[in-house]
């Protein structure tokens, strides 16, 4: 789409885009270019000895069992976060859509966790799950189940998943609710007149009509689990115990800043960039359609 | 209601609904008014929702309780679930002195968070407004190139290019400064897109009228475009303020001096290192409450713009 009426000036438009462009070049293109260049170099931590090694860093990564383990951790984490987050928020949204009275109040009471920083959410759940003083940890132990997210892999994973899901529910809930409210009530009434019960109506009418929203949220949640949960991992477990919760973005940070393996970290950045670009393309191709409805 | 009669039309329904092609009369269903009377299902509905609200609020409730009792009471496992009488002294101690290994007072971190969140939100809106205006209202060489240059930044979250970005900021001498904290986060393709979409819906007649009246582009921008964009700006401000306030990874690496810690980073520093026993949980929890307060207030009191902003920025 283009404007028919435009203004004429040979310098003004450049001045207007200049600030945005300058920041984009300095803080996006320069670093991204450097990451790609760096990923082709081998360098000691002090930068005294630099050598061009081609794709060696990538080859090393592919054979690095820790990197492959991190991929697996990320996959488990993303499936759990996206799956649980979507199911819980869909249930809440379906009921909130049904509740004729009080829907607005429920909505207000369910959306505020969006405002809580990921790191703060992590600290909140770390406190609840703390093996010595956590309230929830105390309940779990009351059932005779051993619990220590600081030492046991599985418990640490549960901790970060719960914190990540808790933080994301409100976002999913809002989009599901908007999707549900855009489904014409007359369709559901027609099905009701034909004798379909609430469960049948949900699975044959509501759920299929909601599928664009669901797909959109699935992509958003995977992106969230892959990239934005860095703060949760860092504040709650620091990737531990061992490497049990070390997802890919966390490993980029750890290898680059803590281990000073610049080439390896840059190669990981490049792989992550490719993953983000793929996900963004999927999302955009899809969003073209979503805007319509 | 006859849409649902013939099988052929029935099969086409989802498509028609999705693309909003149904005749008006069908779309105008009554939203309120129960389809049928099912008291048990009504009860279940409210029970599920109340359970959801309670479970979601629980962590924050426990945090609040922990921020009103003494350090010893927090350590008594399990701690009490009823608020204690130490609310004011705990919050005052956190605000004035800080807690644990981080000695920076929380008021100072709150100020840093506020300043950077405001710079990020206002800066983003300002540079996006003018660049979207240039792209929509002018024809100039390289226009499409600029547009795509900005577009590509959507694809590169700060997390994946963290080390080289850090290097750039450190080369520019911007570590431990507000500029370093905010500038790399200001460029945003989403905001530019949002404004571009919105500007395209402004009727051409307005620009035409402005030109006939002899108003230049800047005059048109200030007197017509900016006032018309008010709701978009408000919606975007809410989202970007929360985004800026809640930043974690970036402030974590560009701030080494406590003077520039934001409150989110401060909390992390309070619980890190020094061993389990030295964490002053009652003060950490008071700080957590303080860190949640401003964005929560913004969400609750500007709910309409918050929802609009969230939906708009995802388009």
Output the pTM of the full model.
0.86
DSSP A7: B
Chain B residues whose beta carbon lies within 8 Å of the beta carbon of residue A135: 62, 78-79, 81
Q: How many Cβ pairs within 8 Å bridge chains A and B?
A: 335
Give yes or no for A262 touching B (CB within 8 A).
yes
Q: In this structure, are residues A229 and A247 in contact, taking their beta carbons and an 8 Å threshold?
A: yes
Give yes or no for A250 touching B (CB within 8 A).
no
Residue of A nearest to B66 (CA): A127
- Closest in A95, A192, A252 to B162, CB measured: A252
- Compute the distance between CA of residue A166 and CA of residue A89 in angstroms, rounded to an integer: 10
Q: Which of A113-122, A275-284, B110-119, B218-227 has the lowest mean pLDDT?
A: A275-284
Interface ipTM:
0.87
DSSP letter for each residue of A254-285: IIIIIS--HHHHHHHHHHHHHHHHHHHHHHHH
Kindly indicate the confidence band of residue B263, based on its pLDDT and cuts at 50, 70 and 90.
very high
User: What separation in angstroms does the CA of B311 have from each of A171, A208, A291, B7, B166?
Assistant: 10, 21, 11, 35, 31
Q: Is the per-residue pLDDT at A292 higher than 50?
A: no
DSSP letter for each residue of B203-264: -HHHHHHHHHTT--HHHHIIIIIHHHTHHHHHHHHHHHHHHHHT--HHHHHH--SGGG--HH
- Compute the distance between CA of residue B118 and CA of residue B122 in angstroms, rounded to an integer: 6
Q: Is the per-residue pLDDT at B250 higher than 50?
A: yes
Kindly indicate the confidence band of residue B103, based on its pLDDT and cuts at 50, 70 and 90.
low
State chain A's mean pLDDT as an integer.
86
CB neighbours of residue A54 within 10 Å: 10
Tokens 């240059």, residue? Answer: B149
Give the pLDDT confidence of B207-236 residue by residue, as tens digits: 888 888 888 889 999 999 999 999 889 989
Q: Which two tokens stand for residue A42?
A: 């081998």
Chain B residues whose beta carbon lies within 8 Å of the beta carbon of residue A40: none
Give yes or no for B209 touching A (CB within 8 A).
no
User: What separation in angstroms does the CA of B168 have from each of A32, A174, B303?
Assistant: 11, 38, 37
Kindly indicate the confidence band of residue B38, based on its pLDDT and cuts at 50, 70 and 90.
confident
A141: distance to nearest CA of chain B, Å?
A: 11
Contact B162 A17 (CB under 8 A): no
- Closest in B3, B140, B163 to A265, CB measured: B163
Kindly indicate the confidence band of residue B124, based on its pLDDT and cuts at 50, 70 and 90.
very high
pLDDT, residue A32, reads 84
Q: Is the per-residue pLDDT at B293 higher than 60?
A: yes
Contact A12 B217 (CB under 8 A): yes
- Compute the distance between CA of residue A273 and CA of residue A78 in angstroms, rounded to an integer: 17
Q: Which of A23-37, A160-174, B13-27, B143-157 has the lowest mean pLDDT?
A: B13-27
Chain B residues whose beta carbon lies within 8 Å of the beta carbon of residue A104: none
Contact B138 A13 (CB under 8 A): yes
Kindly indicate the confidence band of residue A228, based on its pLDDT and cuts at 50, 70 and 90.
confident
Helix (H, G, I), strand (E, B) or coil at B138: strand
Give yes or no for A1 touching B (CB within 8 A).
yes
| Residues of B (272-301) whose Cβ lies below 8 Å from A | 276, 281, 284-285, 288, 291-292, 295-296, 298-300
Q: What is the mean pLDDT of residues B98-118?
A: 86
């Amino acid at each position: 789409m283009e404007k028919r009426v435009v203004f004429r000036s040979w310098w003004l438009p450049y001045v207007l885009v200049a600030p945005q462009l300058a920041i984009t070049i300095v803080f996006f293109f320069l670093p991204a270019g450097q990451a790609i260049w760096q990923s082709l170099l081998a360098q000691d931590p002090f930068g005294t000895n630099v050598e061009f090694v081609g794709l060696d860093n990538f080859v090393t990564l592919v054979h690095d069992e820790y990197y492959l383990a991190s991929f697996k951790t990320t996959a488990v984490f993303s499936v759990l976060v996206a799956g649980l987050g979507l199911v819980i928020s869909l249930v809440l949204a379906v009921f909130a859509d049904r509740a004729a009275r009080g829907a607005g109040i429920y909505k207000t009471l369910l959306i505020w966790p969006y405002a809580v920083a990921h790191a703060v959410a992590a600290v909140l759940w770390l406190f609840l799950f703390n093996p010595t003083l956590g309230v929830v940890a105390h309940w779990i132990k009351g059932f005779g189940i051993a619990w220590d997210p600081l030492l046991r892999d599985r418990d640490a994973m549960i901790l970060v998943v719960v914190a990540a899901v808790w933080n994301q529910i409100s976002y999913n809930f809002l989009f599901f609710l908007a999707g549900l409210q855009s489904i014409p009530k007359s369709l559901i009434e027609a099905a009701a007149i034909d004798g379909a019960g609430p469960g049948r109506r949900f699975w044959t009418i509501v759920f299929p009509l909601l599928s664009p929203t669901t797909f959109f949220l699935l992509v958003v949640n995977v992106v969230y689990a892959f990239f934005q949960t860095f703060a949760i991992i860092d504040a709650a477990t620091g990737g531990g115990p061992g490497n049990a919760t070390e997802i890919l973005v966390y490993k980029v940070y750890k290898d680059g800043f803590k281990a000073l393996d610049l080439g390896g970290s840059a190669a990981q950045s490049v792989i992550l960039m490719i993953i983000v670009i793929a996900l963004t393309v999927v999302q955009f191709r899809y969003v073209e359609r979503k805007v319509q409805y | 209601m006859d849409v649902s009669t013939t099988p052929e039309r029935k099969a086409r329904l989802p498509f028609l609904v999705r693309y909003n092609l149904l005749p008006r009369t069908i779309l105008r269903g009554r939203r309120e008014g129960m389809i049928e009377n099912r008291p048990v299902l009504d009860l279940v509905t409210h029970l599920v929702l109340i359970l959801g609200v309670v479970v979601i609020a629980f962590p924050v409730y426990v945090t609040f309780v922990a921020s009103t009792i003494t350090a010893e009471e927090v350590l008594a496992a399990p701690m009490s679930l009823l608020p204690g009488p130490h609310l004011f002294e705990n919050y005052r101690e956190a605000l004035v002195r800080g807690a644990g290994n981080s000695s920076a007072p929380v008021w100072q971190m709150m100020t840093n968070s506020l300043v950077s969140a405001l710079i990020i939100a206002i800066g983003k809106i300002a540079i996006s407004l003018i660049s979207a205006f240039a792209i929509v209202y002018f024809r100039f060489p390289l226009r499409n190139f600029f547009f795509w240059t900005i577009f590509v930044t959507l694809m590169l979250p700060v997390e994946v290019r963290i080390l080289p970005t850090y290097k750039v900021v450190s080369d520019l001498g911007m570590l431990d400064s507000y500029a370093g904290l905010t500038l790399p986060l200001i460029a945003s393709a989403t905001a530019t897109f949002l404004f571009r979409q919105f500007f395209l819906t402004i009727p051409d007649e307005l620009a035409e009228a402005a030109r006939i009246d002899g108003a230049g582009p800047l005059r048109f921008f200030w007197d017509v475009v900016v006032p018309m964009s008010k709701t978009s700006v408000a919606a975007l401000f809410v989202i970007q303020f929360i985004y800026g306030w809640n930043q974690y990874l970036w402030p974590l690496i560009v701030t080494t001096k406590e003077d520039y810690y934001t409150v989110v980073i401060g909390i992390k520093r309070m619980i890190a290192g020094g061993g389990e026993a030295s964490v002053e949980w009652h003060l950490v929890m008071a700080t957590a409450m303080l860190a949640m307060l401003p964005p929560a207030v913004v969400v609750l009191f500007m709910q309409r713009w918050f929802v609009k902003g969230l939906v708009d920025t995802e388009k």
